[in-house]
């Protein structure tokens, strides 16, 4: 651990992103604690990436991306630690994962910007908390079709109350009705 910490905190000429990848791998191999090694490894990785960018704030999370790619993560670790001392495959996986983390943050930022633009466009129009919740769910990419039944479950209200909220949003131009009868659902007007 002393060697690891000395290397980790030394100002060397290593590429700082590669150093983050190597630090991650090295700490996993050391595995100094009975519990919490994975979480601590991800924290070290995030810290090293923040150091590499010389900023305490980043718009992507390597830790979250690793969680999304757990199967590939463990496979890359196993391939690297089971064989010779060649860590090339690990570095390739790590850098690919980092690229995917950055790409997915672009989608998140795009969604936040779209949401901000929508609310700025409609700043003068009032909505109640239930209506804002419905609109925000739709802006966040609601999975499936927004029906009065689904709105009732989301809002924890009766289906009639949800239907009134959806109808009011439709009458005020926030939503459009699609389908008819049992297939009636609502989409956001942008």
Domains delineated in the chain: 2-114 (1.10.3290.10), 129-188 (1.10.10.10)
**Residue 185 above 90 pLDDT?**
yes
- Write the pLDDT tens digit of every residue in 128-156: 999 999 999 999 888 889 999 999 999 99
Summarised one tens digit per residue, pLDDT across range 17-67 is 999 999 999 999 999 898 888 899 999 999 999 888 887 677 888 999 999
SS3 76: helix
Question: What is the number of alpha carbons within 13 Å of residue 97 lying toward its C-beta?
Answer: 29
Catalytic annotation on 31? yes
Say if pTM beats, i.e. exceeds, 0.75.
no
Distance from C-alpha of 123 to C-alpha of 115, rounded to nearest angstrom: 12
Residue among 24, 31, 122, 185 flagged as catalytic: 31
**Full DSSP string of 130-179:** HHHHHHHHHHTT-SS-B-HHHHHHHHTS-HHHHHHHHHHHHHTTSEEEES
């Amino acid at each position: 651990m002393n060697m690891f910490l000395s290397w980790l905190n030394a100002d060397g000429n290593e590429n700082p992103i590669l150093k983050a990848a190597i630090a991650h791998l090295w700490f996993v191999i050391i595995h100094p604690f009975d519990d919490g090694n994975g979480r601590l490894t991800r924290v070290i990785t995030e810290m090293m990436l923040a150091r590499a960018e010389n900023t305490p704030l980043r718009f992507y999370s390597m830790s979250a991306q690793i969680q999304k790619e757990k199967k590939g993560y463990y496979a890359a670790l196993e391939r690297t630690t089971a064989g010779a001392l060649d860590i090339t495959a690990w570095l390739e996986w790590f850098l690919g994962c980092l690229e995917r983390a950055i790409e997915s943050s672009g989608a998140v930022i795009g969604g936040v910007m779209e949401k901000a633009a929508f609310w700025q466009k409609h700043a003068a129009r009032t909505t109640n908390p239930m209506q804002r919740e419905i609109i925000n769910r739709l802006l966040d990419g609601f999975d499936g079709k927004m029906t009065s039944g689904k709105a009732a479950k989301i809002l924890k209200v009766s289906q009639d109350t949800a239907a009134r909220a959806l109808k009011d949003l439709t009458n005020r131009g926030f939503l459009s009705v699609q389908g008819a009868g049992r297939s009636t659902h609502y989409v956001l007007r942008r």
